[in-house]
């Protein structure tokens, strides 16, 4: 379970200990200098050492400069003992020449055999590992940053942090990393080319922050901003590094040709074989403004969607996974979504996306070829800008289309902005339309003069579609007080019945939504080895705009959500959910099961326990029971994970709803299994097997990624489907078979 944007896993109480270093690569340490926080701003600063001798990235730190250069100073515990020195020592050295930023980390550990490093997958989920994380706010705008992270196993994780809490790890930079382990802990050595970053020319100071997580102790140590109210992704709390002038970006041009091949076999049809080249181009018009182009785009390396069964009358949301659309996604982010509640609390179901990239190149689950795409993103002075144009080809179910998106954000104060957006296009045959609007975000980490976070958002949007006039707007405001002990929100949103953003996404319309919530999250001392206790009350209300009647409402109360220092947790113990739904017309919830129009009052309860992921065998179990529409249902979600670090991970899960209604009985079932093997951080294999009894489809995807060297990758994916003859039958007929390969090579100038 994830609370807010921060992954909080709780641990056993630890005893502080003295650490004597005598053996292994960690024995040689840089000069230990302290760089205290500025008394005015509370932020730390560091002068990066410039070098001329070459550095070999091997995870050893044996060049003499690593011993003589100063380190950034001691880290500070963010949790569990806020403000105290870390339980283990960490030394971080920053070096640079004209081409690279080098980061050397000596992560000492008094119990090196207990260091947890299970993940080697590129951009894998590393929240259950020991790890180090780095933020580079190259524009020092306190809103956007480059993110880099790794584990003792050497996983390469990178992404774009934006919005002071959000992270997109689908952005891939060209960089190098090696890690080693010894009897003194572990070492990481990173080389980040300046050609992989955008930054303003002539600026000497960058924002910088560093964090280390010791997972078995549930300990997080920060360089800057080590307060419980501060998440590491809160870029405004980062410190500063200086001496960042005279950096080489070359001419700022990356040319990435690729060759993609696909073999597709459909039952009863002839095989289809396709071999096509393509090209991606990345050019820095200025050091802070990037132009991206793609020709004959291929997404053969993209993983398949996770299965969902819809038991509501509103659209399901599937996240974007294609790299072209995910890079620089932060600039297109709009203040009409969220605020996101803590883990376990359902979202309101009224998020408004004026631009949702899955509406381009996909239609009703079928791929539409993308012939050409261009994207301009970056910063001009204090303004973030984004422009995207995409041309899709014609198929036997849709004609060729052109789509446009324009976006800007003007910085206000330290963490706020005012912005605007414009979109044009509609993926449906014979349809077109435009959407435009404005948004405002006011954020501060010094609310009412103290170290408290507060965010206020407002937006307004209007869609224009042929043959439709009036009732075509959406607007709303929200306020969030996201702090450690107290958390609360107020949200108002209106979505009119004719509001239809052509390349956007809305889950429901013709509604007015209110949401009010509060959470009390104390950290009791010496109570059952407790790390933190969460108690939530959320109330959400929807009313129809056309008749003013209540459409739905929900009161959600979490009386017990306890996280222990062992890493185990009781996420839900008797959660109370009181709901109301009014159907204005009949609704088929499952094939052959039709609910009549009318009012439905329900009361449900939930229990959820999870076991610490630091162990080789871990899992979780969630049970729900009570009223369900006109009858009752029982929900079971079970997950089991086994790790053989750092090479092998196996996960199996079952998500089932057993419904008993007067109109009929049914079971909604999704079974999922993943088997991942990593030969090294640069050669990984992943397998995903899924089955749901609604579609009766059993699917298997196997993916390989081999990074020959940074920027040069080979992807191979195999997809096989089977269809069950009847619901519950174990006899399957072979469906589509697809084998795809893609190799791209980067030429950097």
Distances (CA, A) of 490 to 228, 261, 416, 580, 587: 22, 50, 19, 20, 31
Q: Above 90 in pLDDT, residue 512?
A: yes
The per-residue pLDDT for 3 is 42
Looking at the domain assignment, is residue 97 inside a domain?
yes
- Omega of the bond prior to 14 within 30 degrees of 0, cis? no
Total number of domains in the chain: 1
The per-residue pLDDT for 327 is 78
Q: Above 60 in pLDDT, residue 485?
A: yes
Looking at the domain assignment, is residue 167 inside a domain?
yes
Give the pLDDT confidence of 621-647 residue by residue, as tens digits: 999 999 999 999 999 999 999 999 899
Q: Above 70 in pLDDT, residue 86?
A: yes
Is the model more confident about 706 or about 12? 706
422, 434 contact by CB (below 8 A): yes
* Range of weakest confidence among 99-113, 156-170, 371-385, 594-608: 156-170
The per-residue pLDDT for 705 is 94
Looking at the domain assignment, is residue 205 inside a domain?
yes
The per-residue pLDDT for 712 is 95
Q: Above 90 in pLDDT, residue 169?
A: no
Q: Above 50 in pLDDT, residue 561?
A: yes
Q: Above 50 in pLDDT, residue 177?
A: yes
Looking at the domain assignment, is residue 166 inside a domain?
yes
The per-residue pLDDT for 41 is 54
pLDDT bracket for residue 250 (50, 70, 90): confident
The per-residue pLDDT for 178 is 97
The per-residue DSSP string of 65-82 comes to: HHHHSBP----EEEESST
The per-residue pLDDT for 304 is 84
Give the pLDDT confidence of 566-597 residue by residue, as tens digits: 999 999 999 999 999 999 999 999 999 999 99
The parent domain of residue 212 ranges over 39-242
Looking at the domain assignment, is residue 84 inside a domain?
yes
pLDDT bracket for residue 75 (50, 70, 90): very high
Q: Above 90 in pLDDT, residue 151?
A: yes
Looking at the domain assignment, is residue 351 inside a domain?
no
* Range of weakest confidence among 254-268, 289-303, 351-365, 646-660: 289-303
Tokens of 250: 């070359």
Tokens of 108: 């000492």
Give the span between the Cα atoms of 407 and 504, in whole angstroms.
14
Is the model more confident about 486 or about 468? 486
Using DSSP's 3-state secondary structure scheme, residue 489 falls into strand
Residues 6+ apart with CB under 8 A from 717: 300, 301, 701, 702, 703, 704, 738, 739, 740, 741
Looking at the domain assignment, is residue 170 inside a domain?
yes
The per-residue pLDDT for 78 is 95
pLDDT bracket for residue 365 (50, 70, 90): confident
Looking at the domain assignment, is residue 44 inside a domain?
yes
Percent of the chain with pLDDT over 90: 73
Average model confidence (pLDDT) for the chain? 90
Give the pLDDT confidence of 21-66 residue by residue, as tens digits: 223 334 334 454 555 565 555 679 999 999 999 999 999 999 999 9
Is the model more confident about 342 or about 104? 104
Task: Give the E-state strand segments of 138-238 in sequence order.
Answer: 144-150, 157-162, 166-168, 176-182, 185-193, 206-214, 219-222
The per-residue pLDDT for 8 is 28
Give the span between the Cα atoms of 287 and 382, in whole angstroms.
14
The per-residue pLDDT for 117 is 94
Highest mean pLDDT among 8-17, 282-291, 334-343, 469-478: 469-478
The per-residue pLDDT for 693 is 92
CATH number at residue 107: 2.60.40.1190
The per-residue pLDDT for 36 is 57
Tracing tokens 């224009």 back to the chain, one arrives at 464
Tracing tokens 């001691």 back to the chain, one arrives at 74
Give the pLDDT confidence of 647-675 residue by residue, as tens digits: 999 999 999 999 999 999 999 999 999 99
């Amino acid at each position: 379970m994830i609370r807010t944007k921060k992954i909080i896993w709780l641990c056993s109480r630890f005893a502080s200990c003295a650490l004597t270093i005598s053996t292994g690569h960690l024995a040689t340490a840089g000069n230990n200098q302290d760089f205290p926080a500025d008394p005015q701003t509370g932020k730390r600063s560091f002068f990066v050492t410039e070098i001329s001798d070459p550095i070999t990235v091997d995870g050893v730190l044996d060049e003499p400069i690593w011993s003589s250069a100063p380190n950034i100073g001691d880290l500070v515990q963010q949790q569990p003992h806020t403000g105290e020195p870390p339980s283990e020592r960490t030394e971080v050295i920053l070096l640079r020449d004209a081409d690279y930023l080098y980061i050397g980390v000596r992560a000492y550990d008094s119990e090196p055999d207990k260091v947890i490093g299970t993940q080697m997958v590129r951009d894998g989920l590393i929240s259950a590992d020991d790890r180090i994380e780095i933020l580079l706010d190259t524009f020092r705008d306190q809103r956007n940053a480059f993110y880099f992270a790794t584990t003792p196993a050497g996983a390469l994780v990178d992404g774009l942090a934006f919005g002071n809490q959000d992270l997109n790890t689908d952005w891939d930079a060209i960089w190098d990393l090696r890690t080693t382990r010894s009897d003194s802990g572990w070492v990481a050595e990173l080389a980040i080319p300046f050609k992989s970053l955008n930054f303003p020319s002539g600026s000497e100071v960058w924002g910088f922050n560093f964090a280390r997580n010791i997972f078995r102790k549930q300990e997080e140590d920060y360089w800057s901003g080590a307060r419980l109210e501060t998440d590491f992704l809160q870029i405004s709390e980062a410190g500063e590094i200086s001496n960042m002038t005279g950096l080489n970006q070359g001419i700022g041009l990356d040319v990435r040709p690729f060759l993609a091949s696909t073999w597709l076999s459909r039952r009863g049809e002839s095989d289809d074989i396709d071999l096509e080249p393509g090209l991606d181009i990345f050019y820095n018009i200025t050091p802070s403004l990037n132009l991206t182009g793609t020709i004959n785009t291929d997404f053969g390396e993209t993983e398949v969607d996770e299965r969902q069964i819809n038991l509501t009358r509103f659209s399901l949301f599937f996240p974007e996974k294609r790299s072209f659309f995910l890079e620089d996604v932060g600039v297109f982010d709009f203040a009409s979504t969220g605020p996101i509640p803590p883990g376990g609390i359902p979202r309101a179901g009224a998020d408004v996306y004026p631009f949702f990239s899955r509406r381009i190149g996909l239609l009703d689950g079928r791929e539409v070829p993308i012939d050409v795409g261009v994207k301009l993103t970056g910063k001009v002075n204090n303004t973030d800008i984004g422009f995207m144009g995409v041309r899709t080809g014609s198929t036997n179910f849709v004609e060729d289309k052109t789509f446009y998106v324009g976006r800007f954000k003007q910085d206000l104060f330290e963490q706020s902005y005012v912005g605007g957006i414009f979109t044009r296009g509609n993926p449906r045959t014979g349809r077109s339309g435009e959407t435009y609007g404005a948004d405002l975000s006011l954020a501060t980490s010094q609310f009412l003069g103290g170290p408290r976070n507060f965010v206020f958002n407002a937006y307004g949007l209007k869609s224009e579609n042929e043959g439709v006039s009036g009732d075509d707007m959406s607007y709303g405001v929200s306020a969030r007080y996201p702090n450690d002990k107290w958390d609360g929100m107020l949200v108002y949103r209106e979505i009119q019945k004719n509001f239809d953003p052509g390349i956007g996404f809305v889950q429901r319309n013709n509604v007015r939504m209110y949401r009010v919530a509060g959470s009390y999250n104390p950290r009791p001392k010496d109570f059952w080895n407790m790390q933190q206790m969460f108690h939530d009350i959320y109330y959400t209300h929807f009313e129809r705009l056309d008749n003013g009647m209540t459409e739905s409402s929900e009161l959600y109360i979490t009386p017990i959500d306890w996280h222990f220092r062992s890493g185990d947790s009781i996420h839900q113990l008797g959660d109370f959910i009181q709901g109301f739904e009014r159907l204005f017309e009949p609704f088929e919830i499952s094939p052959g099961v039709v609910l009549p129009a009318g009012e439905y009052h329900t009361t449900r309860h939930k229990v959820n326990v999870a076991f610490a992921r630091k162990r080789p065998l871990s899992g979780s179990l969630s049970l729900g029971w009570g009223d369900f529409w006109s009858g009752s249902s029982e929900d079971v979600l079970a997950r089991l994970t086994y790790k053989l670090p750092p090479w092998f991970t196996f996960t199996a899960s079952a998500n089932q709803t057993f419904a008993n209604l007067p109109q009929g009985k049914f079971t909604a079932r999704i079974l999922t299994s993943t088997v991942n093997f990593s030969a090294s951080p640069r050669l990984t294999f992943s397998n995903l097997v899924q089955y749901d009894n609604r579609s009766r489809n059993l699917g298997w995807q196997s993916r390989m990624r081999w990074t020959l060297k940074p920027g040069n990758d080979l992807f191979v994916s195999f997809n096989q489907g089977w269809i069950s003859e009847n619901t519950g039958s174990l006899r399957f007929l072979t469906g589509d078979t697809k084998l795809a390969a893609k190799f791209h090579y980067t030429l950097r100038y």
